[in-house]
Amino acid sequence: MVDRIKNRYRKLVYLTWFLTLDLIMFGAFVRLTDSGLGCPDWPGCYGKLSPIGASEHIAEAYAAMPHGAVSFPKAWIEMIHRYVGSLLGLMIIGIVFMAWRHRKVLGNSPRLAIVTLIAVCVQGAFGAWTVTHQLMPIIVTTHLLGGMGLLALMTWLAAREKAHPAVTAQSSAYLPWMGLGLVLLFIQIALGGWVSTNYAALACMDFPTCHGEWMPPMDFHNGFSLIRGLGELPSGEVISQQALTAIHWVHRNFAFVVFAFVGTLAWILRRDQGLRGPATLLLALLVAQLFTGLTTIFFEWPLLIAVLHNGGAAGMVLVSVTLIVRLYRASRAKISA
């Protein structure tokens, strides 16, 4: 009976973790296909449960503006994202229920599961605000960060259910550095989200320079003004090319900071047999991110590459949290010894 409960809980956690990763990838697809307002209300679509019931409203909106935010494909993309998000919330409720009810059998506190449930509720709220605030960049970027944070929590939950190779006590000293690496990674993800939500991916079409200069004319003040509408300045004017250039330039150059710091750390952690697998994968993901980032520029932001770039960031969060969990266990074992 005990083994059956543990096995069911483990399978539920792993499946929910996988669905979280998939939802992040699909969320990128929603954003990059401009489907975020495919159904301009929430939680339904023109007050209906699906685009089928809202077909008349969608047809009218499409006829009035064929190249606008509303169409049947975009409505389905947006609603499928909401359906999967709702399913994810229900699965996390199931995890909390099992974690609380069987806490003695599972041998872990249910606190982490409860925090994850709170996180998915907050994430759902930001999903609603993304629509009701008309894709306001700060809301969309925060929604992206929330998704990555939820993935980090689910990775932590999943890592607790799996036995990991032993990590040496000496390697545990790198735990704070790996934590800093994760913070830098989240900053870079926020900058990347800001690029995407402001449609600044093609603001610089050359590399390594931008508009043929190392420091092109840029408007940092307006580019990083947080409280404003999509495509607007705080004054309501259309956002300038110099502001878009500033957004792109900061994301591009901070990537080198992350690459150098996280790459060096991953290379060092590879020396420990218990960390070699995820550390090597982290290095591979760093190289892949550099490749997809450059490809996005040179091929003018193809959808598949852009989605893969977002997925690569999610993969780096996943692997970084895995390394942190293993280092944390080694640190606890060192203290107990």
pLDDT score at 336 = 67
pLDDT score at 227 = 92
For tokens 């995820």, name the residue: 278
Contact predicate 6/106, CB 8 Å: yes
Three-class SS of 250-263: HHHHHHHHHHHHHH
More confidently predicted of 76 and 109 = 76
pLDDT, one tens digit per residue, over 210-234 is 999 999 999 999 999 999 988 888 8
Q: Taking the alpha carbons of 133, 139, 143, 144 in that order, is the dihedral positive or negative?
A: positive
Q: How far is CA 108 from CA 84, 104, 126, 157, in A?
A: 28, 7, 30, 10
Over residues 121-127, mean pLDDT: 94
Q: What letter represents residue 266's amino acid? A: A
pLDDT score at 9 = 94
Q: What are the φ/ψ torsions at residue 48 (nearest 5 degrees)?
A: -105, 165
In angstroms, the CA 94 to CA 76 distance is 27
Q: What letter represents residue 98's amino acid? A: M
80 has a pLDDT exceeding 90: yes
Q: How confident is the model at residue 337 (pLDDT cuts 50, 70, 90)?
A: low
Contact predicate 72/58, CB 8 Å: yes
pLDDT, one tens digit per residue, over 249-263 is 999 999 999 999 999
pLDDT score at 234 = 86
Q: How confident is the model at residue 99 (pLDDT cuts 50, 70, 90)?
A: very high
pLDDT, one tens digit per residue, over 156-184 is 999 988 877 888 888 999 999 999 999 99
pLDDT, one tens digit per residue, over 239-250 is 999 999 999 999
| Per annotation, catalytic residue among 56, 60, 78, 300 | 78
Asked if 56 is an active-site residue, the reply is no
For tokens 């970084």, name the residue: 320
The per-residue DSSP string of 169-222 comes to TGGGGGHHHHHHHHHHHHHHHHHHHHHHHTT-TTS--SSSSBTTBSS----HHH
Q: How far is CA 335 from CA 29, 262, 329, in A?
A: 45, 26, 10
3-state helix, strand, coil in the chain (%, to 5): 70, 0, 25
231 CB-near residues (< 8 Å, 6+ apart): 198, 199, 238, 239
Note the pTM of the prediction, 2 decimals: 0.94
State the chain's mean pLDDT as an integer: 92
54 has a pLDDT exceeding 80: yes
